[in-house]
Amino acid sequence: MKTIEIPDDVAAALYRTASPGTEAPEMFQILEIGRDNGLVGEADTYLTCIIAMVRGQLVVLYGTSRGGKDFVLETAFKAFPSDYVYEWPNDESPTAPFYNAEEINGYPTQYFGDMAGVQDHQEKILKAFGEGNDADRSVTDISAAEGDEAKMQKLVCPRTTFATFATDNRNFDFNDWPEVRKRSFMIGVDGSKQQTENIIMQKAIEHADDTTRNVDPLTAAKIREYLGAIPAAMFTDHPNNMIVLPASREMAEQKPMPTEFPEARFDFERLMKYTETVTLMNHANRLTIDTDAGKKMLTTPGDVWMAMKIMGENMIISALNLTDEDQAVLRFLKESTGSEERSTIQQGLRADGYNINDRDVARSLKSMRENGYISINDNASGPNSYSLSPFHSVTQVEVGLDYAKIVEACREKVYEKSYVPDVVADFYAETFCTGEGLFQRNPYTGEAVDITEDTELQEVIDGATESAEETFDEPMFGSETSTNDDTADAQAEAKTQGTLAD
């Protein structure tokens, strides 16, 4: 945990969201708490859920049955006070939640569990929350005067709603939930063979009583108390208050996400929101000005870096419309010598240690065919087969951010805000845009990193999309002597897929 000493003249111009001396926990410490509670792998998923619990709107975790979705969420819940999350029961009457509305509305985070087990009336509530709306219903108040028994009760849309679903559940189709699917942040959990082996080893360590704690109980309790007291409502329930991201225009100009699919519009906005939430999680060390037009909390370059470090890969892969299963299928098709049937793809991936079933493969093939990544080859006498399409440019992703430019934008733009006193702008520039302010602790390793020199995200994305890029490289779609005209024609054709171009 850390704190920043603020001089008296600067403090006099600020609105304090925490008592002086309050220490803000670092993401690495929060991750270590998760590991103390049995978390294995899934570091980015866990930390994303931690951020989302503060102000995440709608988040859906997916993966195979018994793949760890619930455990990751429950581990994240343990980092917050016990009264922070409301877990919806799966055996209540349709009117029960509305009679209990006052209590439920007091929980900033709500968890509906597996969407396949959600009751009909809960489905309506979840879909309303998915659209960002409240849910209401008329109930009977038996204590009211005659004629006034009926009253409208409202379930207020929480700051964060969590749900999960199993990709191998044949009785559930996520496409039947468009209100949720279109607006949710989708997070896949690791169902690989390696992850299973790591979990088994962790269980062995626990049974051998060889575990060691990374965070002492007193520090963990302080962190839990701090996370529960983050003033999220101040910046969500009051329209005049806002978290200001001075470098947001610079971020947009750098195009940190591929824009070939419209999902990038929503994902970029979500990245902005989550970056602001990282700022909010560090509120004790951030500068807030109480202006005549509301309170303004200033995001730092370190907050931008941290959000991208934790969520950037998932955001970019989401914008590419490529799930883990999609990437595995693309890799398999690249290594094959021709078109392959669905059953062959599944068997090949399972032989390589990938935990994937026929339903996963079918969903992946359908999605990638719609997005132009693969082609279907109709076979009148047997099952259809699949091969790669010449959709090349989409997978060549230049991502990440030039953090030196982000730092410079923050330093310059903070002086352009008329409501930021010069003494505060000077302190902001000196504290967060130079020297030690440029160093952040890696949320996964705890190592200090100069954010202006960090290029790891691009390397991670290169690895995640490498199979997709190589998939469309020569000589897959022609010989080494294929002409440039042939390649240009193929790419031009791919760019007009799904359009009205002749």
CATH number of domain containing 70: 3.40.50.300
Which of residues 408 and 491 earns the better pLDDT score?
408
Average pLDDT value for the chain: 82
User: Is residue 391 scored above 70 in pLDDT?
Assistant: no
Domain match, 193 and 48 both: yes
Phi, psi of 465 (to 5 degrees): -105, 0
pLDDT recorded at residue 318: 62
Domain match, 330 and 204 both: no
pLDDT recorded at residue 497: 37
Query: CATH number, domain at 348?
Result: 1.10.10.10
**Highest-confidence range of 179-183, 290-294, 482-486, by mean pLDDT?**
290-294
Beta bridge partners of 115: none
Which of residues 273 and 192 earns the better pLDDT score?
273
User: Is residue 227 scored above 70 in pLDDT?
Assistant: yes
Residue 448 lies in a domain: no
Closest CA to 41 of 66, 71, 65: 71
Residue 69 lies in a domain: yes
- Measured between alpha carbons, how far is 172 from 169 in angstroms, rounded to an integer? 6
Asked if 81 contacts 223 with a C-beta cutoff of 8 angstroms, the reply is no
pLDDT recorded at residue 76: 96
Domain end (from 186, 208, 230): 208
Closest CA to 422 of 294, 287, 244: 287
Residues 415-449: tens digit of each pLDDT: 999 999 999 999 999 999 999 999 999 999 999 99
Domain match, 340 and 476 both: yes
Residue 283 lies in a domain: no
- Measured between alpha carbons, how far is 24 from 96 in angstroms, rounded to an integer? 39
- The interaxial angle of helices 456-471 and 324-335, nearest 10 deg, is 50
User: Is residue 242 scored above 60 in pLDDT?
Assistant: yes
Domain match, 204 and 330 both: no
**Sole residue written with tokens 């090949």:** 348
For residue 109, give the 3-state DSSP assignment: strand
In this structure, the chain runs to a length of 502
Domain match, 334 and 195 both: no
User: Is residue 13 scored above 90 in pLDDT?
Assistant: yes
- Measured between alpha carbons, how far is 361 from 349 in angstroms, rounded to an integer? 10
Domain match, 200 and 346 both: no
Domain end (from 181, 208, 235): 208
For residue 106, give the 3-state DSSP assignment: coil
Residue 1 lies in a domain: no
CA distances to 195, 295, 420 from 292, rounded to whole Å, are 52, 8, 12
pLDDT recorded at residue 271: 86
Domain end (from 174, 208, 242): 208
Record the tokens describing residue 177, joined without a space: 């939930």
Q: What mean pLDDT do residues 27-44 have?
A: 94
Residue 81 lies in a domain: yes
Residue 139 lies in a domain: yes
Domain enclosing residue 97, as ranges: 24-208
Asked if 387 contacts 255 with a C-beta cutoff of 8 angstroms, the reply is no
Residue 254 lies in a domain: no
Quote the number of domains for the chain: 2
pLDDT recorded at residue 376: 81
Q: What mean pLDDT do residues 229-237 have?
A: 93
